Amino acid sequence: MEEKIENIQYNLDCKTGLTKEQIEQRIKDNLVNRDMTQKSKSIKAIICSNFFTIFNLINLLLGVAIFSVKSYKNMLFLWLVIINTAISTLQEIHSKRTLDKLSLVSESKVLVLRDGKEQTIGINEVVLDDIVLFQAGNQIVNDCIIQEGEVEVNESCITGESDARFKKKGDMLLSGSYIISGRCTRKSRTYRR
């Protein structure tokens, strides 16, 4: 069964951009550019992957065998296994938290026009029909149509072709490509399934 993709577009003034009310409505309608991929393992997954291993299972079976013959002194190795597993789990959780904080700091930002003012926002805050201003070095965060200006775009990540593409008003810019030169204003597009 084929899914239909409905293209939703609203009319707006390209000189002032979206108003606060329009932005709130688009957020309410879930017309936001959200990245739903999980950047790192959850804490539960970290704990499971560290505690439930073949190595720990073998040591547990050896500990049960030693316990069953009542040689309790020889079970001291289990403390080392538990301490080693706990230390590695705590280190991995600490690393996860540090990486999550760094990913927030390094999150890409875009320059948008809202209420007639230029604002810098995170790429996960871009909504349908946001007027985004691009110049050389910027990455296209979602599919969009150029409203004003001309740019050269590197689409090699998408098409595999290393030659730059010239884009002008009315042309489509694809998510994941980079602006090589020029400056443009574009209107973001969102699709609803």
Where is pLDDT greater, at 171 or 33?
171
pLDDT of residue 6: 45
Instruction: Quickly count: other Cβ atoms within 10 Å of residue 184's Cβ.
Output: 23
pLDDT bracket for residue 89 (50, 70, 90): very high
Where is pLDDT greater, at 95 or 102?
95
pLDDT bracket for residue 32 (50, 70, 90): confident
For the cut 90, the answer to whether the pLDDT of residue 85 exceeds it is: yes
Cβ density class 100-137: b for 16+ within 10 Å, e for less: eeeeeeeeeebebbbeeeeeeeebebbbbbbbbbbeee
- Which residue is listed with tokens 């090589």? 180
Q: pLDDT tens digits for 38-60?
A: 677 889 999 999 999 999 999 99
Q: What is the pLDDT of the chain when averaged over all its residues?
A: 81
For the cut 60, the answer to whether the pLDDT of residue 108 exceeds it is: yes
pLDDT of residue 47: 94
Q: What phi, psi does 173 have (nearest 5°)?
A: -105, 135
One DSSP character per residue, 17-74 reads -B-HHHHHHHHHTT-B-------S--HHHHHHHHHS-HHHHHHHHHHHHHHHTT-GGG
pLDDT bracket for residue 11 (50, 70, 90): low
Most confident of 53-67, 95-109, 167-181: 53-67
Closest residue by Cα to residue 172 from 34, 159, 162, 125? 159
